[in-house]
Structure formats: structure tokens, C-alpha cells
Structure 1
Amino acid sequence: MNILMRFRNNIFLILLISFINTARSCKFDTCGECISYAEDHCVWCAQDGITGSRCRSFKSVSENTTKQVDPNWCKPKYIHNPLFHKETTEDKDFAESKNGTQVQIKPQVIKVKVRPGEPVDFTINFKPAKDYPLDVYYLMDISYTMQTKVDDLKRQAQKIYKDLSAYTNNVRLGIGSFVEKPGFPYVDPIVHKSHAFKNHIPLTDDMKLFISTIEHIEFGSNFDDREAGLDGLMQAMKCRDEIKWRDNARRIIILSTDAPYHSAGDGKIVGAIKPHDMLCHLKDNMYTEALTLDYPSVSQINKVATDENFKIIFAIAVNSQTNVIPETEYKNLAKQITGATFARLEGGDSVIQIIKEAYEEMANTVHIKYKAPPFVNVTIDQDCNSLPKRHCEVGHKQSLSINGTLVVKSCPKANKNTKYTVTLNPYGLRDNLAIELDIACKCSCEQETGSIVPGICHGSGFIQCGICKCQPGSYGNDCRCNGTSTDQRDMEKCKMSSAAKLCSGRGICKCGQCECQDGFSGDFCEFDDNSCPKPNNQLCFGHGRCIRGQCKCDVGYSEKDCSCKNDDKDCYAPYATEACSGRGKCICGACVCDKIKDKNETYSGVFCDSCEECAAARCKELENYTYCNYIHRDNKAICDRDQGSKISNIIVEFMNKTEINGPKLYMATWCKKELESKNGSFILFKYRYVNHDLKITIQDELESPPKANIWIAAGSAIGLVLLIGILTVIIWKILVDLHDKKEFKKFQDEALAAGYDVSQNPLYQDPSINFSNPVYNNQCTT
């Protein structure tokens, strides 16, 4: 009986908690707050005479058969339930023109009506245009140590133009230079020729003028090692009209130097104390504010480069005096600027090669960037920094589709505007996709105003969305309270219990209602909205909102603290068809491995594929992909084609026999792929995981099966026979000696028993006999 009572009480408690949670999740006082909470799909009833909450979960008031709101609660015409709507309003084809230029991205405009919390999926289609305009501006360090590199540019100018024209017939080149701010102690104006930036020639397709300009450039000098490269770079980017940058062109700036750079703060030494304003200051093609404005900061350079779609290449040379290249400094700088790269500037055709590689990368890869309000979260399914690049490479004359999702996390605060735009575009191009958002944060009935009617809302307000909208100075559910109301009965309504503090000590009681301090909520201000889990100073792990003391998670996350990622994408090993290799469960975006059958242990590894029998199965999965890469080792894209996400995180490399057997790959797993058409030869390869990426290392030469050598076989057989014979003779001799020894011992024992002295042979005669010489000492007589 006690067990039944306990079970019944537990069931009741579970139902009660469920009811309370449901009530809390859609417990809002205004129509706008109600419909802007999408997690439980809250709906608002504006019908008169409704008892209880006007904001409820659609699930709790809908009929399962019709998916309509129960008319017993609210008539359909009074329901405010904004529905998701997405419409593509501009979708010009790649072959069409847009504002006189070629279209490279489609669609162009999408309009969406959405609640906060609802995911919006979208697809960006990109196709590089043929003969797309290209502007290349060469920003040179013209100090004396760079003289040989400038001479290289002089010799190669015509070839640069010719080679780039093979890619596109719409090329323009320009040139500018820098040395240093012309002020002491960096420069002695009397001794040194120096400037922070000079535009020698704007972008042009007149190669004779370009070459002539380079030939007449005069070199400068300065005292210190560092130079004004960032000053020149900022002016080269911001002076659009002076440099003649085209809006619809790919823009490349090559900063060529052999010295480190000055950045923000260094200009104070020469009196340039004003922070850089990120504006153009050219007069007669010379930078006029070099001694007034400080050097730009790296973050300012990054902002302008990102906003204006510049591809910056730091082409760094070895200093002819110090024989040192500031490689580390410029590599770190390139990492801090979106789209920037580092390259070594060497002799010969290195300038041409750097420009060609930069253009090929821009033409054959696409990296989507976006601008969005802070309350909008955008996720794009690409990773152009991974190896191989994921959803970034564009084949010749082919298009590329990239998927993305955006979620409005919350309504914008203190702003009546509910329409915003999210802009996405490939880095380096002006083409973009505009997603126009109409965020459902207010009901249409909240825009309506009514007239004050005696008897309604105590004559101090009017009905709006079914509730009283009070005039200034009045408040309360029915507007019966004013700013001076101190009714004791109203005070009691602001307490959770008779002994509790008014509004839990966290707010002010006005006309029976609590006005809570910031950070607290609830009817009695009983909820601390900062009490939710806050790792790294981020409420709800940064994946949700703290409402009434509880985390309300964003789409794709769950658990009480929003720490659990519902997406199982990270549980799929590259080139695998099952989450966790079919040997575990994906929980919160990570694999929890199963127990191995008939063993007291579990599978291991990031994807639960570490076990004795797992390696053979994984090798089998990878062998065809490996074989394809072996055949097409210079064109991995052929093997990746039509594979989708299976190859998104796979890195392929080749090594010789010595390297693949070295300590670097000691922990990798061996595999082989037999080739029937190659006389039994096979491909050897190893695989291992680097974080979540799969790295396949292939031996660059086939492994042949061992061949039988008849002489070795015959010699081995003869040697074995001889060895056996010799061993037999030795063993026989040892056995014979042992037998003789045993027999001799037996003979000794028998002789002793018969009374013979076995120390001397009775048949033995001494070989020595004494004879007397009769004539010795005259003993002989006649």
C-alpha cells in the first residue's frame, strides 16, 4: 500500500512540475512578449472575457487532429500566432546582369518573417564569372635595401600584365610606395628622402605608363629599422577615387618590404598623437597627415580590409644589409587580417608567381562572410581554414552551393524597429545575399489605439490586445492604480507569503504588482535571472537566455544549462555512414561508446572505432578512397566529387617508405589495399585522427609481394641436410664415448673385486732391462 501511495505521489509531483514549467514558459503579460518566445510556440488570445493567462503554449491549447487552437479557449479570429514565412524576392540567374555587372551569387534577396528562436535555413549558390575585373596595386618599400626587388618589378612588369591577362582580359595595375613618417627621430628631413605614402600611378591598363613610372622611382631612407607600411596600406585602401578602385573588381594589394612595421602608438615619438581616423588624406598623390595622425592599428587595417573586400599579400624579402627576413612578424600580422596571406619575395619571377597564386586562390575558392545584428546568430556550413578546405573550392566553370542557418536569439531591446537585414557575400566580392528579417516581436493589435470609455479600464486606459493599456500615471491590470496608490491590500499582493518581503526585496510594489530590479523577474521578483549556469561569464553557456531563473535554450541545444548540443554532426567520422561508427550513441554532440560484446570493456576513440576488429573495418571503408587518391594524387578534387560531407574533414598526404615507417606515424593504424591488376601488388597506407580530422598517409610507391628465390631455397635445403648430418655425427660420437666410459668403469670394479691391483696391468712388463758390460772398468780378462 505504501508503495502504491508513493508511486501515486511521484506521478502527481511529475505532472505538477510539468504543469508549472509549461505555465512558466508561456507566462507573459503582453502580446509582444508572448509571441516573441518561440521555444514553446506561445500564442496570445485578444478575446474579451478570457479567464486565466492569455498567453499559452500552442501545444497545450491545440487540437491534435486539426492543429487548430481550441475554440473553447479562444476564438480563432482573436488568436495572434505569427507563422514562419520565407520568400525569395530576387533570384537573377548567373547569366543575367545586375547593375551592369555579372551575377556570381544567387539568390540575391530573401524575405523572412520569423519569431525569435526559429531557425531559418538558406542556401548560397556561387559561380565565378568569366573575365571578372581584377585590380592589382603594388605597394612598395622604396628604401635602399629594396633596390634589387624594385629592379625585379621593372623587368617583370610587362610579363605580369601578360600572365594575368591569361586569366581575365580585364586587368589593371597600379603602384604606390612608402618609407617612413618624415619626422625626427625616424627621419632627418635634411639628410633623408622619405614619405609615409605616395601614389605613383593609379590603377591603369596602360603598361607603357606603368613601366615608365617604375623606372623613375627615387629611393629613400630612414634611421630606424621599422617603416610606415601600415600608413601606406591604409591610404591605399581608403583612397578609392585616387587609386581608382572599381566597385565590381577583385582587389589585390601586394605590400612588398624587407623591414618590420610601425603600428598604433609609435607615431607619438614624431608628434603624431591623434588616433588614425581611417580616412583618405591624399593631396597631389602624397599622404598629408603623416605627422598628425598616428599609425593605424592592426584592428583598423583588418576592419577596412574586411569591409572593402581587399586581398592583402605581405610579400617579404630578405634585408640585404642584415640578411634577415621579418617572417614571423608578418605571418602573425597576416593571421590577424581577414583574407591576408604571407609570401616570400625572392629573386626571379617570384613577384609574378605571388600574384598568380593570389588570383587563383580568389578565383577558385569562396569564403562566405556576413554582417548581422548582435542578436542574430549565423552559422555557415563551411571551413575554409581546414585542410582540405570544406565547401570552399570551386571547379572550373562550376557552381558551388553552401548551406547556412540563422537564428534570431531575442528581440532587439529599446528599439521599435523589427526589420533588419543580414548580408552575406563571398570574401573579395561585392555580390551579396540580403536576408531581410521581419521579426515577430509585436502584435498587430499593439499598434492600435482606442478611445477611453467610462467603466472600462477605470476610465484611465483603453482595451488593446484584450487587456487594458493604461495612460501615463495609471497602471495595474485594470488601470485603477495611480502613482500615489498605497492601498494595503495591494501591498499584500506583492508578497509570496504573509511573512515575505515586498517583491522579495528586489523590486517596488505598485498597485498590487511588482516592478522588479534589473536581473530579476517573476510575479514577486523571486527569480534571479543571473542564477543560471554561467561558465566563462556566459549565461546558459552562451546558447540560451535566462528567463525566470531557468535557461531557455536556443534551437539546437538542450539540458538545464544549454550545454548539450543536439546536432550529431560531430559524431560522424570522416568518410563514415554511421554516427559513432555504429558502436555508440551521440550524446550532446559527442560519442558515448558501447560496451564490447562478451568483454568487460568498451569501445574507445573519438568515434568509437578503436578496437581490434575496428581497424580492419575502417581500412575497408577507406581503401577505395585511398586508391582513388593514389591514382589522382595531383587532383584530390576528383576523388572528393559527389562525396558530400563524407570527405569534409579528410587530409591526404604521401610519404616514402622511410618516412611512413618513422616515429611520426607510430600511433597511426596500418592498412593495405590489394591490386588484382598489379600482379599481387598492394597500396600501403596509414590513418589517424588529428582532433576530428582524418589524416590518411599513403606510401608513394606500391608494395610488391615477396618473390621466391630457387637458389636460396636449394641452398637452404642442402645446408639443412648437412647441418643435420654433422649434428648426427657429433651426437653419435658423444654417445659412443659415454658408452666406453661406462664399460671401462665396470671393468675396474670387477678387477678390484677379484684382488687385482687395477693401478697396474698384470701383463705389463717394464720396457727397461739392465745389462752389465764385462769390459767396464777392466773387469774383462782374457
Structure 2
Amino acid sequence: MNILMDFRNNLFLILLISFINIVISCNFDTCGACISYAEDKCVWCTQDGITGPRCRSLKSLSGDTTKKGEPTWCKPENIQNPQFEKVIKEDKNFSDTEEGSQVQIKPQVIKVKVRPGEPVDFTMNFKPAKDYPLDVYYLMDISYTMESRVGDLKRQAEKIYKDLSAYTNNVRLGIGSFVEKPGFPYVDPIGHTSHAFRNHMPLTDDMKLFISTIDKIKFGSNYDNREAGLDGLMQAMTCREEIKWRDNARRIIILSTDSPYHSAGDGKIVGAIKPHDMQCHLKDNMYTEALTLDYPSVSQINKVATDENFKIIFAIAPNALKDKIPETEYKHLVRQITGASFARLEGGDSVIQIIKQAYEEMANTVQIKYKAPSFVNVTIDQDCSSVPKRNCEVPHKKSLSINGRLVVKSCPKDISKTKTTVTLNPYGLRDNLTIELEIACQCNCEQEIGSIVPGICHGSGFIQCGICKCQPGSYGNDCRCNGTSTDQRDMEKCKISSEAKLCSGRGICKCGQCECQNGFSGNYCEYDDNSCPKPNDQLCFGHGRCIRGQCTCDLGYSGKDCSCKMDDKDCYAPYSTEVCSGKGQCICGACVCDTKKGKNETYSGVFCDSCDDCVAARCKELGNYAYCNYIHRDNKAICDRDEGSKVSNIIVEFANKSEINGPKLYMATRCMKDLETNNGSVMIFKYRYINRDLKITIQEELESPPIANIWIAVLSAIGLVLLIGILTVIIWKILVDMHDKKEYKKFQDEALAAGYDVSLNPLYQDPSINFSNPVYNNQCTT
């Protein structure tokens, strides 16, 4: 009986605590603050005569009725609970009939009214238009080392135009150039011809003009190895009218060079100390602020490229010194610029192939980007880095549907921004889906201004949303307080308990209400908004907000300090499709390795793949990729083309036989791949992890297995058989002799015991016979 009573008491206590938590979580003093709390769906009661809180969780109202079914807290018509609304405002059908008016995204406008914390699901459909305009601008390094590349462009100009016209009948080409900022010490103004950017020809479909323009290009030079590629790139993107970029066209810029680039900060050497303003500065097609504005930063290039929908291709040519620095730097650069790619500029028709490949990628794939305020979280169900790619490949002549979700994390600090927009569009295109967002951060009743009635709210305010809305200079629940109020009863209202300090010692009590110091909140200033976990000197790890002393995490994070990342992307080893190599679990974005079966130990390593049994599987997994890089050692992009995020953290290098077996790679794991060739050659490579990056070192020379001499094997086998036979005979003879010797000794012992002379053999008969020869005087003859 006592056990049953304890169970009932505990159950009641649990339910009571749960109810209190639900109510406290919606403990707000105004209707707007109540309905805009993102954690719980809180509602406000405007009914007169309410005792207790006016703001409660919608969950807490379940079953909150009298026996007659009437609500005990608030009548339904007095509850402020903004409802979710979503209306498709504009939804034109797909169209590609008229230039400049193609419709590739539908719907075009969605209007949404939503409360913070309430998810909004939406679907956008994409269908590429036929003969969509294409603008290609060739930005050329015209230092003397690039002279042969300019010749390649001239020879291939007509073929480029013809091949691209097979994709779309609306192609235009343009060309610009760069060398270096024309200032000492980068350039000698007397001995060098140099410029940071020049627009030789804006976009046109006149190929004769294009070719004649290339003929007139004069080459320049400079002292240092680095050049002003980013200066030229910024002007090519921002000078829309001068370059004649079309609003409705796919935009491709091919930056061709054989040298590394200058970035922000390097311009100070020539006196260009002003930060770049990301604006166009062309006069007579020449960049005029080269010696005033610093080089643009990589982040500035990325912002303009993203905002203006540019596809940038860094086409890098091998330089005369076979220096690997430019290639390495540009490969790193493309990772920092959205939509950028790297290509190796070889001779022949490599320019054509680069442009065609870029257009095919833009036309056949779609990757959605978005712009949203910081207080709105947007997720798109699309992963173009996954293998296979999800919702990225566009079916031929068909539309593609992509799902998304947005969640308003909190109300903006500026109440005027409660009406905002979120735009989504495919990268490289102007078509977009606009979501007109209206955030419910104020109740309808708060927008109503009543008249001041004597006796109500002490004549210093009016009823709004069921409570007094005080005039300036008055405050308190009933507006009876002013700056001189010192009523002791009001002081008691500022204590969380009778023994506690006023406003917990963190604020000032005015007319029964606490005015908290910065960093504290709550009715009694009892919550320290800086008391939340603060790893990395950031409240809630920078992934949440500290509300009432507890972290409220952003979407995608959890834990008391919001440090637990819900995404498992970091748990995939490079070039692996299994979470934690299939030997662990991804917890908070990191692998927690399983215990080995039948052993009192766990797997180890960042990706749980450090074990004796794991090496063979990992070598097999990496074998084909390593061999692809061995074949295409000068163009890793070929092997990476369809691999997506699997190869984003892989570094490939080559070493000779002595280096790969040297001390630097002693700790790396050795692998061998059979090539199934006639001579049975094998490829040797090693792999190791550097933080979360995978570094593969491939041996430059193939290894051939040693040629076996079959006669040595045959004769060895025959010799072994003979040796075993001879040893068997010898052992048998020894054993037989030992046995005979033992039997003879036994015979001697028995004869002596019987009284025989063992020195004579009783069975022995002398073979000689004596007889008399009568002819020979009867003498005996034997």
C-alpha cells in the first residue's frame, strides 16, 4: 500500500513540475513577447479579471476546463494566438519563348505569416529554358610568359563561338587583360608596360571584331612573380555597363594566368592603401584607381561573385619554371569562392573544353543559394556534394522539384523588420523564388490605441490586450507608479522570496517591478544571461542564445552549451561512404568508436579506421582513386569531377621509391594495387591523415613482381623428396640393426642358461670331409 502511495505521489509531483515548467517557459509580461517566444507556442489572454499569468503555453491548456466543459483560464475568443498563413502569390508557368522573359522557377512569390519557431515548408520547381543567353568574358594575363596562350585563344575563337552556339543561339564573348599595378617596386614605369585591368572588348557576337581585338593586344611585364588578377576580376564583375553584362544571362569569367595573385594588403607597397570599395572604376576602358585602392580581398571577390551570379573559372597554365605554387594557390582559392572551379590550361583546344565543360555543368545541374536575415534559418533538401548527388541533376527537358524549410529563430530587435523577404535562386541565374515573410511579433490588440478613462489604470494609461498600457512617466501593472513612488508594498513585489534581496541585487525596484541591470533578466532579475556555458569565449558556443540562464540552441545544434553538432558530415572519412567507417557512431559531429567483437578494446582513429583489419579494406577503397590520379597526375580534377564531397579533403602527391620508403612517410599506411596488366605490375601508395584531411602519396614508379625460375622450384621439390626418402631408409636400417642386436643378446643369454658353449654353434657342421685315396698310399685327402 505504501509503495502504491509513493508511486502516486511521485507521479503527481512529476506532472506538477512539468506543468510548472510549461507555464514558466511562457512567463512574459506583454502580448508581443508572449506570442513571439520561439521555444513553446505561447498564447495570451486579453480577458478581464484574469488572476495569475496572462501568457501560457498552448500545451498547458489541454484539459483545462470545468466539469461543464468551460475553460477555467480564458475564453477562446479572448485568446491571442496568431495563426499560420501561407499563400502562393505569383505562380507563372514555365516559359522559354521570349528572350528576357523566360520563366525557369515556379512559384515566383509566396507570402507567409508565421510565428517564431514555427517551421515553413515550401517547394520550388526549376526547369532550364531553351537557348538561355550566355555571356563569356575572357580575362587574360598578358605578361610575356602567356603570349602563346593568347595565340591559342585567337586560333580557337571561331570554334569556341560555333561550339557554344550548339548549346544556345544566344552567345556573346568579350576579352579583358591584366598584368600588375603600374607602380614601383612591382613595375618600373619607364621600362615596363603594365596595367591592373583593361577592357579590350565588351561582350559581342561579332567574331571578326573579337579576333581583330586579340591581334591588337600588346604584352606587358613586371618585376615580381605575382600579378593583379583579383584587381582585374573585380572590375570585370562590377563594371556591368562597360562590359555589357546582361541581366538574364548565364555569366562565365575565365581568368587565365600562369602566376599567383596579389590579395588585400599587398597594395600598400605601391601606396594603394585604401581598402577596395567593390565598385567599378573604368575610364576609357582602363582601371583608374589601381594606385589608390588596395587589391580586393578573397571575401570581397566571393561576395560580388555570389551576389551577381558569376561562374568563375581559374584556368592555370604551367609556367616556364614548372613552379607548382600558382596551381596550389588557385586550387585553394576556388574553395573560398562560391561556384568557382579550377582548370589546367594546356595547349591545343583546352580553352574550348574548359568553356564547354563549364556551360554543361551550369546547364545540367542546379544548386540553390539563398539570402535571408540573420534571424531566419533556411535549409534546402539538396546536397550537390553528396555521392550520388541529390536534387542537383536536371532531367533533360523536365522540371526538378526541390524542398526547403525556413524557421524564424526569434523576432528582430528592430520591430520594423518583422516584414522581410527571403530569396532563393539557382546559382548563376537571376530567376528566383521570393518568400514575403511577415513575422508575428505583435498581437493585433497591441496595435489598438484606447482612450484614457479616469479610474482605469489610475488615469495614466488605457487597457490594451487586457493590461494597462501606461503613458510615458507612469509605469506598473496599473500605471499608478511614477518616478517618486516608494510604497513598501511595491518593494515586496520585487523579491523572489521574503528573505531575498530586492531584484536579487541585480536591479532597481520601481513601483513593484524590477528594472534589471544589463545582462540580467526575469521578473526578479534572477536570471544571469551570461551564466550559460561559454566555451571558446562565446555564449552557447556561438550557436544559440542565453535565455533565462539556459542556452536556446539554433537549428542543427543541441546540448547544454549548444556545442553538439547534429550534422554527421564530419564523421565521413575522405572518400568513404560510411559514417565512422562503419565502426562507430557519429555523436555531436565526431566519431565515437565501437568495441571490437570478442575483444576488450575499441577501434581508434578520427574515423575509427585505425586497426589491422581496416587497412586492407581502406587500401581497396582508395585503390581506384589513387590509380586514377596516377594516370592523370597532371589533372586531378578529372578524378574529382563526379566524386563531390568525397574528395574535398584529399591531397594527392607523388614521390619516388626512395622518398616513399623514407622517414617522412614512415608512419603512413602502405597499400598496393594490382593493375591486372600482362606483366603483373603493381602500384604502391601510402595514405595518412593530417587533422581531418587525407594525404595520399603515390609512388612514381610501378613495381614488377620478381620473375620465378621454374627449374629451381622443380629441382627443389625433387631434392626434397629424395632427401626425405634417404633419411627414411637410414632411419629404418638403424632401427632394424638395433632390433637384431637386441634379439641376439637374448639368444646368448638363453644358451648359457641351458649349459651350451656359446662360443660353439651346436648347429654348425664343418664343411671339410676326410677320405683315403687308395691310389695315393692311402693318404687322407680333404
The two structures have a TM-score, normalised by structure 1, of: 0.76
Taking a change above 3 Å as real, the CA distance of residues 552 and 759 of structure 1, as seen in their structure-2 partners, is farther
CA distance in 2, matches of 1:594, 1:501: 52
Taking a change above 3 Å as real, the CA distance of residues 528 and 72 of structure 1, as seen in their structure-2 partners, is same
Trace 1:324-335 onto structure 2 (pairs within 5 A). Answer: 326-335=326-335
Alignment-derived partner of residue 117 in structure 1: 117
One-letter code aligned to 1:449: I
1:170, CA displacement in angstroms?
Answer: 1.3
CA distance in 2, matches of 1:159, 1:764: 123
Taking a change above 3 Å as real, the CA distance of residues 665 and 294 of structure 1, as seen in their structure-2 partners, is closer
Match status 1:28 vs 2:11: no
Taking a change above 3 Å as real, the CA distance of residues 235 and 80 of structure 1, as seen in their structure-2 partners, is same
Aligned residue for 2:415, secondary structure, equals: coil
One-letter code aligned to 1:306: T
Q: Is the 8 A contact 2:584 2:608 kept in 1?
A: no
One-letter code aligned to 2:255: L
1:433, CA displacement in angstroms?
Answer: 1.1
Q: Is the 8 A contact 1:181 1:196 kept in 2?
A: yes
CA distance in 2, matches of 1:111, 1:148: 55
Alignment-derived partner of residue 218 in structure 2: 218
CA distance in 1, matches of 2:765, 2:132: 124
Between 6-15 and 156-165, the greater mean CA deviation after superposition: 6-15
CA distance in 1, matches of 2:225, 2:304: 26
Taking a change above 3 Å as real, the CA distance of residues 255 and 558 of structure 1, as seen in their structure-2 partners, is closer
One-letter code aligned to 2:490: D
1:394, CA displacement in angstroms?
Answer: 2.3
Alignment-derived partner of residue 186 in structure 2: 186
1:740, CA displacement in angstroms?
Answer: 2.8
Alignment-derived partner of residue 200 in structure 2: 200
Q: Is the 8 A contact 1:751 1:758 kept in 2?
A: no
Taking a change above 3 Å as real, the CA distance of residues 83 and 559 of structure 1, as seen in their structure-2 partners, is farther
Q: Is the 8 A contact 1:491 1:502 kept in 2?
A: yes
Alignment-derived partner of residue 144 in structure 2: 144
Please list the CA deviations of residues 438-493 of structure 1 after superposition, one character each: whole Å capped at 9, or x if unmatched. Answer: 11110111111011000100000011111100000000000000122122222222
Taking a change above 3 Å as real, the CA distance of residues 233 and 554 of structure 1, as seen in their structure-2 partners, is closer
One-letter code aligned to 1:265: G
Trace 1:666-705 onto structure 2 (pairs within 5 A). Answer: none
Alignment-derived partner of residue 54 in structure 1: 54
Q: Is the 8 A contact 2:96 2:129 kept in 1?
A: no
Alignment-derived partner of residue 319 in structure 1: 319
Alignment-derived partner of residue 134 in structure 1: 134
One-letter code aligned to 1:528: D
Match status 1:362 vs 2:362: yes
Aligned residue for 1:157, secondary structure, equals: helix
Alignment-derived partner of residue 296 in structure 1: 296
One-letter code aligned to 1:217: I
1:259, CA displacement in angstroms?
Answer: 1.3
Alignment-derived partner of residue 41 in structure 2: 41
Please list the CA deviations of residues 133-159 of structure 1 after superposition, one character each: whole Å capped at 9, or x if unmatched. Answer: 111111111111111111111111111
Q: Is the 8 A contact 1:583 1:603 kept in 2?
A: no
Q: Is the 8 A contact 1:580 1:591 kept in 2?
A: yes
Please list the CA deviations of residues 664-684 of structure 1 after superposition, one character each: whole Å capped at 9, or x if unmatched. Answer: 99999xxxxxxxxxxxxxxxx
% same residue? 79
Q: Is the 8 A contact 1:117 1:555 kept in 2?
A: no
Between 144-153 and 563-572, the greater mean CA deviation after superposition: 563-572
CA distance in 1, matches of 2:298, 2:35: 43
Please list the CA deviations of residues 46-81 of structure 1 after superposition, one character each: whole Å capped at 9, or x if unmatched. Answer: 122222211111122245999xx9644222222211
Please list the CA deviations of residues 240-286 of structure 1 after superposition, one character each: whole Å capped at 9, or x if unmatched. Answer: 01101111111111111111111112222222222111111111111
Q: Is the 8 A contact 1:504 1:525 kept in 2?
A: yes
1:386, CA displacement in angstroms?
Answer: 3.9
Alignment-derived partner of residue 674 in structure 1: none
Alignment-derived partner of residue 351 in structure 2: 351
Alignment-derived partner of residue 157 in structure 1: 157
Please list the CA deviations of residues 402-438 of structure 1 after superposition, one character each: whole Å capped at 9, or x if unmatched. Answer: 2222111000003333111111111111111111111
Alignment-derived partner of residue 683 in structure 1: none
Alignment-derived partner of residue 459 in structure 2: 459
The two structures have a TM-score, normalised by structure 2, of: 0.76
1:725, CA displacement in angstroms?
Answer: 9.6
Match status 1:88 vs 2:72: no
CA distance in 2, matches of 1:600, 1:732: 50
One-letter code aligned to 1:392: C
Please list the CA deviations of residues 170-228 of structure 1 after superposition, one character each: whole Å capped at 9, or x if unmatched. Answer: 11110001111112222222221111111000011110100111011111111221111
Between 532-541 and 160-169, the greater mean CA deviation after superposition: 532-541
Between 494-503 and 192-201, the greater mean CA deviation after superposition: 494-503
CA distance in 1, matches of 2:531, 2:34: 23
Alignment-derived partner of residue 227 in structure 2: 227
Structure 1 gap ranges (5+): 623-646, 652-662, 669-689, 694-717, 766-782
CA distance in 1, matches of 2:179, 2:569: 51
CA distance in 2, matches of 1:467, 1:187: 74
Q: Is the 8 A contact 1:97 1:103 kept in 2?
A: no
Aligned residue for 2:407, secondary structure, equals: strand
Alignment-derived partner of residue 338 in structure 1: 338
Alignment-derived partner of residue 250 in structure 2: 250
CA RMSD of aligned residues (A): 4.8
Match status 1:374 vs 2:374: yes
Between 538-547 and 12-21, the greater mean CA deviation after superposition: 538-547
Aligned residue for 2:231, secondary structure, equals: helix
Between 338-347 and 86-95, the greater mean CA deviation after superposition: 86-95
Q: Is the 8 A contact 1:649 1:692 kept in 2?
A: no
CA distance in 2, matches of 1:594, 1:195: 61
One-letter code aligned to 2:179: V
Trace 1:736-751 onto structure 2 (pairs within 5 A). Answer: 736-746=736-746
Count of aligned pairs = 680
Q: Is the 8 A contact 1:258 1:325 kept in 2?
A: no
CA distance in 2, matches of 1:130, 1:605: 53
Q: Is the 8 A contact 1:593 1:602 kept in 2?
A: no
Q: Is the 8 A contact 1:343 1:354 kept in 2?
A: yes
CA distance in 2, matches of 1:487, 1:268: 66
Alignment-derived partner of residue 443 in structure 1: 443
Q: Is the 8 A contact 2:125 2:402 kept in 1?
A: yes
Taking a change above 3 Å as real, the CA distance of residues 512 and 426 of structure 1, as seen in their structure-2 partners, is same
Alignment-derived partner of residue 425 in structure 1: 425
Aligned residue for 2:184, secondary structure, equals: coil
Match status 1:106 vs 2:106: yes
